[in-house]
Amino acid sequence: MEAPGEAEVENEDGDSNCGDLCFMDKGLRSISELSLDSALHAINLHCNNISKITSIDHVWNLQHLDLSSNQISQIEGLNTLTKLCTLNLSCNLITRIEGLEALSNLTRLNLSYNHINDLSGLMPLHGIKHKLRYIDLHSNCIDSIHHLLQCTVGLHFLTNLILEKNGEDNPVCHLPGSSLVQNHGRVEAQLESLYRENECLRKASERDSDTIRIKCKIIDDQTETIGKLKECLQEREEQIKILHEKITEIQKCTQEQLEEKSSQLDEIVEKLERHNERKEKLKQQLKVKELELDEIRKAYSTLNQKWHDKGELLCHLEMQVKEVKENFENKERKLKAERDKSIELQK
């Protein structure tokens, strides 16, 4: 192992960058083996044997952290890294998302190739305070659309939610309605853009109105000019009205789609419950049949033992008959010999 006390190490190409630390595939078991400078901006500890996130809370300026391909099972020790923008914890042993509440500047989160089925740690990131835009969760164990929606719908800036990539996915990807969840962030981003555009137009309209009022007070005799300004204002108002109608229509369509998908989800849940009930009934029937099969096997075993005993008895009887027959034949030969001998003596 190389000296752990160095704050700067050479990267894969042999270059050394101030503010960056690259310590890939060095067999590290703990981050405490390194002496980390608080001025570091990026740390790459990919492909080591680290099992716990420790000894990093003093690196306040850290913006990029890569701990992929390690043995980490819990997200912890990040509360002081408020400037962190990207976090890569892919290829670890994590089962739930947690410990991200303080990362208000986090924009990219990679948790692919883990064992995650609990996303409740995303709920504290809801609202405009947190800027999370990209989450990669492919190759995990997420199996509930309801839980996925509950934990991601409030991520205000989310535009990319990766649940499937290159054929690697989550169980939830095979359920109807999962595509709506992945597109939800994009729809919200489009709505936010339309809202901002509408606000800009509204403010521009207000500025134009103020300008018109000022000019009306200053130039009372310019009726023709005022008329043209009023026409321009009316056109702007028509444009704003049209935009309002478009936004209202988009909101209505989005709401209808969400209601439709929610209804489909409820139907799927009901079907799943019925299937589970049917499954339980079949399990009970299977247990009964297994008990009957065990009884039949016992009866067969008993009957087989009886036949085996009878077979041994028949073999024993055959041997006795064979002995009796041999004795009879021996006696018969002896009698014939005596008879022949008597006949010879009489002659």
The confidence score (pLDDT) of residue 338 equals: 85
Kindly indicate the confidence band of residue 16, based on its pLDDT and cuts at 50, 70 and 90.
Answer: very low
Residue 190 has pLDDT above 60, yes or no: no
The confidence score (pLDDT) of residue 112 equals: 97
Which range, of 4-8, 130-134, 188-192, 244-248, averages the lowest pLDDT?
4-8
The residue among 333 and 97 whose pLDDT is bigger is 97
Residue 3 has pLDDT above 80, yes or no: no
The confidence score (pLDDT) of residue 303 equals: 87
Whole-prediction pTM? 0.51
Q: Calculate mean pLDDT across residues 298-316.
A: 86
All residues at 6 or more sequence positions from 149 whose CB lies less than 8 Å from its CB, including other chains: 181, 184
Residue 8 has pLDDT above 50, yes or no: no
Tens digit of each residue's pLDDT (9 = 90 or more) over 28-53: 999 999 999 999 999 999 999 999 99
CA-based radius of gyration for the chain: 42
Residue 15 has pLDDT above 60, yes or no: no
Average pLDDT, the chain: 85
The confidence score (pLDDT) of residue 66 equals: 97
Residue 255 has pLDDT above 60, yes or no: yes
- Reference 118, options 162, 75, 68, 168; nearest CA is 75
